[in-house]
Amino acid sequence: MTMIEYVRSRSMPLPLVYNRLALEWMGAVSSMLKIYDTYSSIFYKALMMLLQEDGVSSKENPYMRMLNIMDAMLDEELKSERFAHLLTDYLDSWLSIHAMLKRIYPVRHYDIMLEDILAEQFRSYTRMLSFMLSTQNLPIDASGYDVVYIKGKVRLLHYRGGKGYPILIVYAMINRYHIMDVSKDKSVVRRLIEGGLDVYMLDWGHMGYEDEHLSLEDYIHILDEVVDKVREVSSKDRISMLGYCWGGIVSLIYASLYKQKLNSLIVMAAPVDFDKDDGILAVWAKAIDARRLVEEYGHMNGQALDIAFLLRNPVRYTVMKYLNLWKRINDRAFVETFYAVERWLYNTPTVPGRFYEQIIEDLYKGNMLVRGLLEVDGKRVDLKSIDIPLLTIVAENDDLTAPASTLAVNDHVSSKEKRVMSIPGGHVGLCISSIAHKQLWPNVARWVIEKARESSIEEANGRSVGGGKENQG
């Protein structure tokens, strides 16, 4: 059946359908051109400012100076209400087109096909890069592990060589866990093992169309099963948990509901007070209609997120990084890390629609986590109920999660032991920068062990007191 035959079978007037589609298409094109004009205008203005500047040191790289000018201009413009309106106008027009097409013709298989094509473009890029840099044999995981739990696409990885107190890393759902074990020299997992910890990783896997129904509650249920498995394998009643980015959000929620299973919590670069998250992506997230997006597509496409990440600063996140690569092309360790990060960066999984909608609407827009309005399975999530030792980790120049948003967690929990660790650099630098591996992660391991020991002593004293009372009775 052709589209025209399908429309006629639904008794819909073709002229009206075509007129509305044409109007929405024109609106989408108009918004897209305005967005393009915003970027090109900033590039042109930065170039003109560079050419008109007086007194610039001859030793200063003109290209870097122009990039710095563009950084400031992009940061201001892309957070503005004007740009947010442009973005929402474009998205609204596109979603309206999709809604009309969906009403008159089954477009689901076209959505799947187009998303597969987009994903293949990113995979082709990483294959080409691998060929050019001779990194075809570079393993995805730098450290060996055993899979000790599987549920659907979710796996629990237990890394070999670890000993001592267990720590569970809860990674974000909008990327894969590989950045925590990206290479031998840049492996957070290895630093923690070297620090004397027994390391476990929660791998959320690649969610697909069949997982669109998964909600925040489902993620919490899975996390609880995983925690119980870690307790079983490690033979420990309590474990330490490290939540990174959106994984930190879920970890906080979990800790408020099941703190008795944890002896310490680490929140790393996770948005907590969303009113204080003024990063570009947070501003955009607060502007879009997540409910409508999920209603149309059922999920948030991973490659669409990749494009959004690039649009924060197209020149710096495309041209600049390849110039840096060229400068250090003879540094094999740098080249391999560069490729490993690129491979990780463009392997973004689909985010289930229900979960994505809850995160955007309830947290980014409603800020319900710190306001005490969020509920999971009918239970109110109260951050004040968290009284276990808390470590907050931030990157000083994080442009994905504002440090102020993460640090705000200390104002909303009841923990007596609160510590903050910070390093220069950005969001990903927490995992791959030299200073992170030389200073941050050894300190994190020592803190976890110290708090785990204190927890063990408290438990032993509690049992001793309890036993003494029973004997007296």
Task: Identify the pLDDT of residue 50.
Answer: 84
Cα distance between residue 160 and residue 166, in whole Å: 12
- Tell which residue, 373, 430, 353, has the closest CA to residue 399: 430
Cα→Cα distances 434→24, 159, 321, 338, 428, Å: 49, 22, 18, 14, 12
Catalytic residue among 245, 299, 306, 431: 245
Task: Identify the pLDDT of residue 65.
Answer: 85
Q: Which two tokens stand for residue 23?
A: 């109007």
Task: Identify the pLDDT of residue 311.
Answer: 92
Exposed, middle or buried, 37 (CB in 10 Å: 0-12/13-18/19+)?
Answer: exposed
User: CA 132: distance to chain centroid?
Assistant: 28
Cα→Cα distances 408→95, 385, 394, 403, Å: 35, 16, 11, 9
Lowest mean pLDDT among 99-113, 155-169, 233-247, 310-324: 99-113
Mean predicted confidence (pLDDT) in 106-124: 89
387 is catalytic: no
Residue 392 makes CB contacts below 8 A (sequence gap 6+) with 266, 267, 268, 406, 407, 409, 410, 418, 419, 420, 421
Task: Identify the pLDDT of residue 55.
Answer: 53
pLDDT band of residue 406 (cuts 50, 70, 90) is very high
pLDDT over threshold 70, residue 446: yes
Q: What is the average pLDDT score of the chain?
A: 91
Residue in this structure with the two tokens 């967690």, named with its chain if needed: 409
pLDDT over threshold 90, residue 458: no
pLDDT band of residue 348 (cuts 50, 70, 90) is very high
Catalytic residue among 158, 178, 299, 427: 427
Residue 8: left (phi > 0), alpha (psi -120 to 50), or beta?
alpha
Mean predicted confidence (pLDDT) in 403-422: 97
Task: Identify the pLDDT of residue 56.
Answer: 53
Instruction: State the pairing for strand pair 154-159/197-203.
Output: antiparallel
pLDDT band of residue 2 (cuts 50, 70, 90) is very low
Cα→Cα distances 78→66, 142, 309, Å: 18, 37, 12
198 is catalytic: no
pLDDT over threshold 90, residue 10: no
Cα→Cα distances 194→141, 189, 342, 366, Å: 17, 9, 26, 41
pLDDT band of residue 64 (cuts 50, 70, 90) is confident
Cα distance between residue 157 and residue 144, in whole Å: 9
Task: Identify the pLDDT of residue 108.
Answer: 84
pLDDT over threshold 60, residue 58: no
pLDDT over threshold 90, residue 397: yes
pLDDT over threshold 70, residue 31: yes
Residue 169: left (phi > 0), alpha (psi -120 to 50), or beta?
beta
Mean predicted confidence (pLDDT) in 238-249: 97
- Tell which residue, 203, 235, 429, 246, has the closest CA to residue 337: 429
398 is catalytic: yes
Residues of the chain above pLDDT 70, percent: 93
Catalytic residue among 362, 398, 412, 431: 398
Cα dihedral: 20, 23, 26, 32 (round 10): -80
Phi, psi of 207 (to 5 degrees): -70, 150
Beta-bridge mates of residue 146: 158
Q: How many CB atoms lie within 10 A of CB 117?
A: 10
Lowest mean pLDDT among 106-110, 211-215, 396-400: 106-110
